[in-house]
Amino acid sequence: MLPKATDEGIIDLEAHYFSVHKAFFTIVAFSLFSSSIVNYSIFGEPLIGPMTIMPSIVGCAAIGAAWSDSQAYHKGVGVFMFLMFLAFQLTDNTVISYTS
């Protein structure tokens, strides 16, 4: 995922980003959809609730990012995913406890 330096010492980060974005966002989408399934099946979150819907929405945005080469889409999806991450973290009330 990290770019390689050239002999000239120049790294084109934009070109590198767009060369790896399909694999990166496919993995992100898979992990988000998996998170929704885990939150529903293991943690007992409702099927229609913030802990299942929010990761699914961001997963759909990640699929869009995997397929899109639009710079505007990628700029917007980065901000969108960051805001959704904050909202998800702030609404997470899952408590994992150990009982023997």
Predicted confidence at residue 97, as pLDDT, reads 76
Q: How far apart are CA 58 and CA 67, in angstroms?
A: 14
Predicted pLDDT at 20: 94
Within a domain: 6: no
Residue 63 inside a domain? The answer is yes
Q: How many CA atoms lie within 13 A of 59 on its CB side?
A: 16
Q: What is the residue range of 42's domain?
A: 13-91
Specify the number of domains making up the chain: 1
Q: What is the pLDDT of residue 49?
A: 83
What's the pLDDT at 1?
66
